[in-house]
Chain A
Amino acid sequence: MTEIHPTPEALEQFLLGQLATPEMREIARHLLTGCQRCHEVTATLWEPTDREEELSLAEDVEAVREEPRDRYDEVLDRVFQKVLAAETVVAEQRAAGRKLFAELMQISAERRHLLLSNSQRFKSWMLCECLIEESLAAGFEEPRRAVEIAKLATLAADRLQPEDGPSVEALTGLRARAWAHLGNAYRILFDLASSEQAHAVAEALVEEGPVALLDRARVLVLLASLRLDQRRFPEALQLFDRGAYIYKKLGQWHLLGRTLIQKSLVCNETGDSDSEMTLLRRALDLIDPQAEPRVFLSARHQLIKALHEGGRSREAFALLFHTRPLYLKIGDRSSLLRLRWMEGQVAFGLQRSEQAEVAFREVREGFGELGLEYEAALASLDLAGVYIVQGRTADVRLVAEETLAIFQKHNRQQEAITALLVFRDAARLDQAGLALVREVSDFLKRARNNPELHFPPSS
């Protein structure tokens, strides 16, 4: 056994990796001998485990309050001063970023690219943040615009340097988010191949790191949505779980709530309605209806739908009754049509066919007026279901012909048209039953996100 012991300071430096390689190795060899004396020093310097940390932080805070000021206080004071100065600057940069965004949106697409690639003025962190936010906001309403803006965000992010923002970690996170939002915008546009490519860049950035936890979670959750659309459900669940874990760790309860709503969609697809409802109820506990009424409503809507689809139409009806004021408060046409649609579906579940018929007619016409032919076709199929139950075969035929005609006029998705042709042909022969209506309806819902699906499904 080596007789000479390293000093406590040297042992501490050893654990921090602050010694030269020969000294590090010498101490490693010494510790391998099982030296009790040195081990007593190093054991106290080992990183505390998470469990110990969680248990004792509250006690430590109390102890800290009693302690005289020390070097940690000096560091904290110094950093606080820097942050105070930075806060003002960043607020100004944020305002400037908004102005740059507005300016950018006024000019041609070609010039936008030119300015973002070359102009020093447009090399702005906050402009990039703004582009990411605007791409997300454009999302479902204007998916092509969302793609265009997200592309600009990637351009802006790739040009930035670490010194333009708080750290290397933040810059990598910003780039990863920009690419993930581009992937998301493509996903909404149903261009899954381009979405996959953009997400691959985001993933690579996250893997290479370092990336802040919140950015990592955002990227993971957006990728999970792609996996959901690709029907790669186990991967989607795993990614949603990883995102949810981080949001929970960072106390971002609203984002956790949103993630649980998205995760519930996977359960819906896999037919696990119990888990779906549990997740939605947990999400509803986490989302503030005052701060995020739309998100809250969408969770309630999904829960009503899950109850109805699970054969619990009475519970669905009761929850729908309590949710009606929120639909009315949000008040846009699309939300009101979705309320009416849900009312029709629940009424159908409760064998109130006449109420259901009126609701489905209104919904079909409403979506038709809005130019949302996909929704109109789905509402038509619901209406056909009512007629089938009532034995009104002539009306079934009429609805089948009308739906096909509308769909052929506005939509080029061949497999969806094939499904509606099958339904129309069956209706002509008075052979269209509820099972076929459900099959076609389910197919249309899935084919919308996956144009490569074939009807009838090969299984």
Chain B
Amino acid sequence: MSALDQPRVEDSVVILLRRLHPRLKALLAQYRIPHPDTEDLLQQALLALVYQHPNIQHPEAWLMGTLRNKCRLYWRERRRKLYETVDGALLEGLAGPQAPGQEETELRHDLANALERLPEHCRSLLSLRFSQGYEVPELAERLGYRPSSINKTTTRCIAALARYMVYLGPGGKKAEHD
């Protein structure tokens, strides 16, 4: 059996974890990961370290980098859901076949105000999508985007709208892509 096969007490992952405890905690707090979700994120990163430990140099940097990436992915997944919600809410409220009522008129007004804060190309794209009910392929054709890129562009514009709604707000600066 080679030396690599033996558990190496001196560089045990647990010793590393004790040393990194404050930094791990600070990172999780900084990303505002809710406590119930923390355990999964942390456990996945740490178990991956245990499995790959012999092949990883500078495990501190690896662990912090990996956990930071997991925190980012955690938020990316939540944001994706948020964008879908914003998109769904507006499609449902504006692109339906029913005649415009009071609620829809208000929604159109609010959307128009929000779009004012977005870059020009997002304004055009989202107006066509929400106010005039254009489907994605039609948007590509009308606005001159490649079919392969229109989905990404649409998502980015919805993201800019969501960012305005949640983060920048009416008093904030102009919303841009992520």
Instruction: Please list the residues of chain A having a beta carbon within 8 angstroms of any beta carbon in chain B.
Output: 1, 14-17, 21, 24-26, 28-29, 31-34, 36, 39, 42-43, 45-48, 50, 53, 56-57, 60-61, 63-65, 71-73, 75-76, 78-80, 82-84, 86-88, 90-91, 94-95, 98, 125, 129, 165-167, 169-170, 210, 212-214, 249-255
Starting from the known contacts A21-B85, A47-B79, A210-B73, 12 additional A-B residue pairs (CB-CB under 8 Å) come to: A24-B89, A25-B92, A34-B114, A42-B166, A60-B27, A79-B43, A90-B51, A91-B5, A98-B2, A98-B5, A251-B62, A252-B61
Q: Are B62 and A252 in contact (CB under 8 A)?
A: yes
Interfacial chain A residues near B148, Cβ < 8 Å: none
- Which one, B1, B6, B65, contacts A213 given CB within 8 A? B65
Instruction: Check: B56 CB closer than 8 A to any chain A CB.
Output: yes
A256 nearest CB across to chain B (Å): 10
The CA of A98 and the CA of B160, in the complex, are separated in Å by 52
Instruction: Check: B81 CB closer than 8 A to any chain A CB.
Output: yes
Instruction: Please list the residues of chain B having a beta carbon within 8 angstroms of any beta carbon in chain A.
Output: 1-2, 4-7, 12-14, 17-18, 21-32, 34-35, 38-39, 42-44, 46-48, 50-52, 54, 56-58, 60-62, 64-66, 68-69, 72-73, 75, 77-79, 81-82, 85-86, 88-90, 92-93, 106-107, 110-111, 113-114, 163, 165-171
Q: Are B169 and A34 in contact (CB under 8 A)?
A: yes
Interfacial chain B residues near A29, Cβ < 8 Å: 89, 93, 107, 110
A367 nearest CB across to chain B (Å): 33
Interfacial chain B residues near A80, Cβ < 8 Å: 14, 17-18, 46
The CA of A118 and the CA of B64, in the complex, are separated in Å by 39
Q: Are B166 and A88 in contact (CB under 8 A)?
A: no
The CA of A166 and the CA of B50, in the complex, are separated in Å by 9
The CA of A125 and the CA of B50, in the complex, are separated in Å by 13
Q: Are A79 and B69 in contact (CB under 8 A)?
A: no
Q: Are B169 and A166 in contact (CB under 8 A)?
A: no
- Which one, B50, B57, B88, contacts A87 given CB within 8 A? B50
B72 nearest CB across to chain A (Å): 8
Q: Are B75 and A47 in contact (CB under 8 A)?
A: yes
Q: Are B34 and A16 in contact (CB under 8 A)?
A: yes
Q: Are B25 and A64 in contact (CB under 8 A)?
A: yes
A240 nearest CB across to chain B (Å): 19
Given contacts A17-B81, A25-B89, A57 and B166 within 8 Å (CB-CB): no
A168 nearest CB across to chain B (Å): 9
Q: Return 16 A-B CB contacts under 8 Å, by A number.
A: A15-B166, A17-B85, A28-B85, A28-B89, A28-B90, A29-B110, A34-B170, A53-B68, A75-B42, A76-B42, A78-B39, A214-B62, A250-B66, A251-B60, A251-B62, A252-B56
